[in-house]
Amino acid sequence: MTTQEYDTVEGDSTSHRAWTGDIVVVGAGTSGCYAAATAAREGYDVVVVERKSEREAGHIACGDALKGADAFPEAIPKSQIQSAFTNTDVDHGRFEIPQEDTVLEIPVPGELAVIDRWEYGRLVIEGAEKAGAQFHYDTVVQDVEQDETGRVTGVRGKRHGDVVEYDADVVIDAAGALSILQDKADLDDATFDQNVSYSQFCSAYREVVHVDEPVEWDDALVFKPTDRAAGYLWYFPRTDTEINAGLGFQMNEEPMHLVEDLKNDLRDRPEFQGATVEDKLGAALPTRRPYDSAVAPGFMAVGDAAGHVNPTTGGGIAGAAYAGKYAAEQAVEAIETGDVGETALWEYNERVMDHFGARYAGLDVYNIFTTAVDVDDLMGLLGALPTQKLSEALYSGSANIGWKLKLRTAVRSLGHFDLVYDLYRTKNLADDLIDHYERYPADPRGLPAWQETRDSLLDRVYETTGADPKY
């Protein structure tokens, strides 16, 4: 049962509502719900502030594919969200390359599923409520409150025309890509990553489409390039007749006409003749490395709001769930000690980098590589790459490629010798970057030196690929 519990603040002609507690979470997505559930289960007073209505909450633009479907944090166990898993038979990627008139069948390691994202969203909200978190819907956060030391102490917004204020020991930003909280907060004296711009994000649009006849590829995630290297289409089967179809492009590129371009591709595919659209939605998502630091005094960012997304595939559900768990556990520990400063929250950064952050940073190198390559050349190269090694690169950020394999790939890639060489050099740099991320500092004081070394590695990436600097 949803709760809306406030105290009334007197003395102003405008109606004010106030909430005071331990943790305020802004955003009822995956990371926000797992953060709220984790802290609430420990007996802490937690509220989730969500701009959407109770009915619309959980309705988020997503490709619906879930990598890492076998494990979720215990605060909302998999058993509570299992009914949203509509297709658990998907086990590989199908990469269509029209320029080469070929299709790559790429194995995907680990458990994979396609979900009903809105139903999943409802279930994680329900799970957080069962854990003891409050939910305040229809609440648009407009500002961040800070004390004289710069510590974040809460947020301010509006609900149905009333001003609402939230005071807490820790604010967790789960408000999604390009979060307004990070624009409103003064984080200049913190290590919190502010090297963030729209060009590091992707604009995406998706439709849930119903077809009358089952598709032949209901066991695969289908990918297809657009006419630009930094754009892509996807077809993910929720069932054999319900398909999540979408596309996106890197925001530093010339904009695509997302709705029109998707309709044109659907029109050209015979399996979608006579199809009906059941739902449509668009969004921005990060296709960048995780934030170098996602903490400031009294403040933490999780999920899309901290760049916790695989920059080559856009996948981020499982990582967001664990980011929410790690953030809440560190917030609880900090509150227990009476110190919610940057150093007290720092271990959250370490756990993220150790779990998936290093891997995502390595994958970002391949994202950078594609921005500097002609789409036809890139497709020709992908068509020549061994699928197992391509799978390893896409999902782990690295692949073990011996000299014999390099030679076979080069032979198959006639006309692309320079590109093959650049790709292997890029692969080695991605490995070096992953190794560096595994030495992420254990203290905020070590961050500047760590960043300096990382940036020098990225300079080599730009030099090798010819790509424009991304950060």
Model confidence at 106, pLDDT cuts 50, 70, 90, reads confident
Examine the domain organization and report whether 312 and 349 are in the same domain.
Answer: yes
> What is the reported pLDDT for 33?
98
Contacts of 17 (CB under 8 A, 6+ apart): 6, 7, 8, 9, 159, 162, 163, 164, 165
pLDDT higher than threshold 60 for residue 372: yes
> What is the reported pLDDT for 371?
82
In a domain, 252, yes or no: yes
Examine the domain organization and report whether 123 and 192 are in the same domain.
Answer: yes
Residue that finishes a domain, picked among 299, 331, 356 = 356
Examine the domain organization and report whether 210 and 301 are in the same domain.
Answer: no
> What is the reported pLDDT for 184?
97
Mean pLDDT across the stretch 308-327?
94
Model confidence at 323, pLDDT cuts 50, 70, 90, reads very high
In a domain, 82, yes or no: no
Summarised one tens digit per residue, pLDDT across range 417-455 is 577 777 888 989 999 999 999 999 999 999 999 999 999
Nearest to 85 by CA among 360, 324, 317, 319: 317
Examine the domain organization and report whether 139 and 240 are in the same domain.
Answer: no
Examine the domain organization and report whether 161 and 303 are in the same domain.
Answer: yes
The C-alpha atoms of residue 412 and residue 420 are separated, in whole angstroms, by: 10
CATH number at residue 131: 3.50.50.60
In a domain, 183, yes or no: yes
In a domain, 1, yes or no: no
> How many domains, the chain?
3
Residue that finishes a domain, picked among 356, 387, 413 = 356
In a domain, 264, yes or no: yes
Nearest to 73 by CA among 47, 35, 111, 43: 35
In a domain, 41, yes or no: yes
Examine the domain organization and report whether 266 and 174 are in the same domain.
Answer: no
Nearest to 90 by CA among 76, 108, 72: 108
Model confidence at 279, pLDDT cuts 50, 70, 90, reads very high
- For residue 39 the two structure tokens come to 């802290």
Percent above pLDDT 70 for the chain? 87
Examine the domain organization and report whether 61 and 25 are in the same domain.
Answer: yes
Model confidence at 405, pLDDT cuts 50, 70, 90, reads very low
Summarised one tens digit per residue, pLDDT across range 130-177 is 999 999 999 999 999 999 999 999 999 999 999 999 999 999 999 999
Residue that finishes a domain, picked among 255, 286, 317 = 286
CATH number at residue 235: 3.30.9.10
Query: Domain containing 439: what range?
Result: 357-465
Q: Is the dihedral of CA 247, 253, 259, 262 positive or negative?
A: negative
Model confidence at 287, pLDDT cuts 50, 70, 90, reads very high
Sheet order of strands, 242-250 included: 102-107, 92-97, 220-225, 231-237, 242-250, 201-210, 276-286
Mean pLDDT across the stretch 105-119?
90
pLDDT higher than threshold 60 for residue 389: no
In a domain, 81, yes or no: no
Examine the domain organization and report whether 456 and 362 are in the same domain.
Answer: yes
In a domain, 137, yes or no: yes
Examine the domain organization and report whether 104 and 220 are in the same domain.
Answer: yes
Examine the domain organization and report whether 381 and 236 are in the same domain.
Answer: no
> What is the reported pLDDT for 78?
94
The SS3 of residue 246 is strand
Examine the domain organization and report whether 352 and 362 are in the same domain.
Answer: no
Summarised one tens digit per residue, pLDDT across range 252-272 is 888 888 999 999 999 999 999
For residue 227, the tally of other CB atoms under 10 A from its CB is 11
Examine the domain organization and report whether 97 and 244 are in the same domain.
Answer: yes
The C-alpha atoms of residue 113 and residue 117 are separated, in whole angstroms, by: 11
